[in-house]
Amino acid sequence: MAEIVMPRLSDTMEEGTILRWLKRDGEEVARGEELVEIETDKATMTYESDQAGVLETLAAEGDTLAVGAVIARVGAEAPAGDGGGAPASQAQSSAAATAGSPSASAAPPAPASTERSAPSSATAASVDTPPAAGSPGAVESDGHGGRVKASPLARRIARDRGVDLQAISGSGPGGRIVKADLEGVSGAGAPSAPAAAPAAAPAGGGPSLEEVMTAKGETTELELTRTQQTIARRMAESKATIPDFALQIDVDMEKCVALRAELKRLSQRSTSSEADSATQAEAPTYNDMVVKATALALREHPRANGSYRDGRLQLHSRINVGVAVAAEEALVVPTVFDADSKALGEIARETRSLAGRVRSATITPPELGGGTFTVSNLGMYGIGSFTAIINPPQAAILSVGALEQRAVVRDGELVAGHTMTLTLVCDHRILYGAEAAQFLARVRELLESPTALTL
């Protein structure tokens, strides 16, 4: 039988989580047919089988395995047994679940589940160990031979409280049992008994021990998704290993404001009678201008477009600018490839499309890799300036603040002008202060004379 291993779906992927098998044990699988949904450190992908034959799964839904680990086998014939029977992996799972039981050797293997429910994105990264067979909260039948739909957190609560999930009605998507469905439920589904009265306060009139222990109120634990775990690990590594420093500069954006107003007017007039005006009428944003100016400056300062790996400096020939996008409970950085050679309007359309796919969770790993520099903008939230964390192994990250009207001096007079603060955070192993300052000054020069951005 041919083995199917955990594939490497992105350049930084080290392990993946099985979200949902799209084919069941014993089913015929054709080459190129969608086989399994896998959550990586960057996105959720559907993996297509590179083998043809009868499927035998070795990894369960919710399992996290390293790249290269065997997750299934595909053979020419169905496993031996009654009507194809349960595959060897299921027999092993049943034996493991009943290990230690006096009748373990006589127990038949558990039947294959006829219904599999895809976990929600909020619980996809959970790797709770399934409860042993026969224990409360274990896999029960829904009356049709299927698995009770419940989140991993709900199963753990049910197991701890001894709750029979068969008696609970789920309020989640598709009748899925979630944590809220187990509030006030204990035992076999009966409402829990009222809590005992709090212990008497000590003689001094201070709070009792129980009051101190519950002073924070009810605590809810949230499982991190695979993406959130990766962000946490990479940002911790960045702060712990990179000797960084920050430079800040104010940019006179008056000419950019005038340019955007003109581009908006021309764009709306040229597409007013076209069917695709809804998608073409939006003029480039100020962030698009920053991305273009940054790409042009990176072409002139190649060290800022480099990386630090294993004690060596790597200089990249392509300028691929990552644009940080706030997704649901995560920060995702899609890449604008060859940003220095793309027109401002092309960058605007591409960043808008990438941001839309990030928020709709349809972005693909190739669109999230290959970045050589990152731009992060919090100006739309009213943040004047901030210091972002470098995305290793890149040399630097540019933080973009809000466009604001401030008092500026022009021709010896104090007037109101549109300004923006840029903060460049650098890896001192790659960029030194002087060359980082020159790079940042060039970005400002391009934004204050933005005609070059339109060429």
Domain at 416, CATH number: 3.30.559.10
Lowest mean pLDDT among 118-127, 202-211, 241-250, 281-290: 118-127
The angle, 0 to 180 degrees and rounded to 10, between the axes of the packed helices 433-448 and 254-270 is 50
Higher local confidence (pLDDT), 3 or 107:
3
Indicate whether 213 belongs to any domain: no
Q: Which residues pair with 326 in a beta bridge?
A: 331
- Residue 200 belongs to some domain of the structure: no
Mind telling me the catalytic residues? 428
Same domain, 107 and 41: yes
In this structure, the answer to whether residues 135 and 281 fall within a common structural domain is no
Q: What is the pLDDT of residue 213?
A: 65
- Can the peptide bond before residue 334 be classed as cis, meaning omega within 30 degrees of 0? no
330 bridge partner residues: 327
Q: Are residues 171 and 249 in the same domain?
A: no
Handedness of CA 81, 83, 89, 95 (dihedral sign): negative
Q: Which residue, 257, 260, 259, 280, is CA-closest to 269?
A: 280
- Give residue 165's pLDDT: 81
What average pLDDT does this structure show over 258-276?
Answer: 75
pLDDT score recorded for residue 131: 41
310 domain residue, yes or no: yes
Residues 180 and 247 placed together within one structural domain of the fold = no
| pLDDT tens, position by position, 431-443 | 999 999 999 999 9
For 124-161, the pLDDT digits (tens) are: 333 344 444 334 333 444 444 456 777 767 777 887 78
Residue 141 lies in a domain: yes
CA distance 306 to 326: 25
Confidence (pLDDT) at 195 = 46
- Whether residue 83 is predicted with pLDDT greater than 50 in this model: the reply is no
Q: Give a yes or no: residue 142 inside a domain.
A: yes
Q: For 253-347, list the strands marked E by DSSP.
A: 306-309, 312-315, 321-323, 325-327, 330-332, 335-336
Q: Which among 160, 191, 222 is the end of a domain?
A: 191
Task: State whether 253 and 164 are in the same domain.
Answer: no
* Residue 86 contacts residue 110 (beta carbons within 8 Å): yes
347 and 249 share a domain?
yes
Instruction: Answer with the one of 158, 191, 224 that is the final residue of a domain.
Output: 191
Both 281 and 138 in one domain: the answer is: no
CATH number at residue 23: 2.40.50.100
Q: Percent of the chain scored above 90 by pLDDT?
A: 38
User: How confident is the model over 295-332, as pLDDT tens digits?
Assistant: 999 999 999 999 998 889 999 999 999 999 998 778 89
Q: Do 137 and 275 fall within a single domain?
A: no
Q: What is the three-class DSSP state of 21?
A: strand
> Could you tell me the pLDDT band of residue 209, with boundaries at 50, 70 and 90?
low
pLDDT category of residue 109 using cuts at 50, 70 and 90: very low
* Distance between CA atoms of residues 446 and 292, nearest Å: 9
pLDDT of residue 139: 41
64 and 181 together in one domain: yes
Pick the more confident residue, 80 or 57. Answer: 57
Whether 300 is in a domain gets the answer yes
Strand-by-strand arrangement of the 44-48 sheet: 44-48, 34-39, 15-21, 64-66
The residues pairing with 314 across neighbouring beta strands, listed in sequence order, are 307
Q: Does residue 268 share a domain with residue 135?
A: no
Greater model confidence, 17 or 336 = 336
Tell me the per-residue pLDDT of 385-436, one tens digit each, with 9 for 90 and over.
999 999 999 999 999 999 999 998 888 899 999 999 999 999 999 999 999 9
Q: Tell me whether strands 53-57 and 70-75 are parallel, antiparallel or unpaired.
A: antiparallel
What's the domain count of the chain? Answer: 2
Average pLDDT, the chain: 79
CB–CB of 27/54 below 8 Å? yes
- Range of lowest pLDDT (285-289, 380-384, 407-411, 418-422): 407-411
Q: What is the pLDDT of residues 179-204, one digit of tens each?
A: 778 777 765 554 554 444 444 555 55
Both tokens assigned to 78: 């169905």
Q: Give the percent of the chain with pLDDT over 70.
A: 74
Cα dihedral sign, 127-129-133-135? negative
Do 187 and 276 fall within a single domain? no
In angstroms, rounded to a whole number, what is the distance separating the alpha carbons of residues 236 and 232?
A: 6
Domain ranges, residue 275:
242-454
Per-residue tokens: 122: 């909020």
Q: Which residues contact 209 (CB under 8 A, 6 or more apart)?
A: 199
* Domain-ending residue, one of 151, 167, 191: 191
| CA dist., res. 176 & res. 256, Å (int) | 51
Give me the residue label for tokens 């998704």: 225
- Work out the angle at residue 57's Cα, subtended by the Cα atoms of residues 53 and 59, and round it to the nearest 5 degrees: 150
Residue bearing the bigger pLDDT, 219 or 176: 219
Amino acid in position 74? V
Q: Is residue 217 part of a domain?
A: no
Same domain, 96 and 159: yes
Number of other CB atoms surrounding residue 31 within 10 Å: 11
Does some domain include residue 405? yes
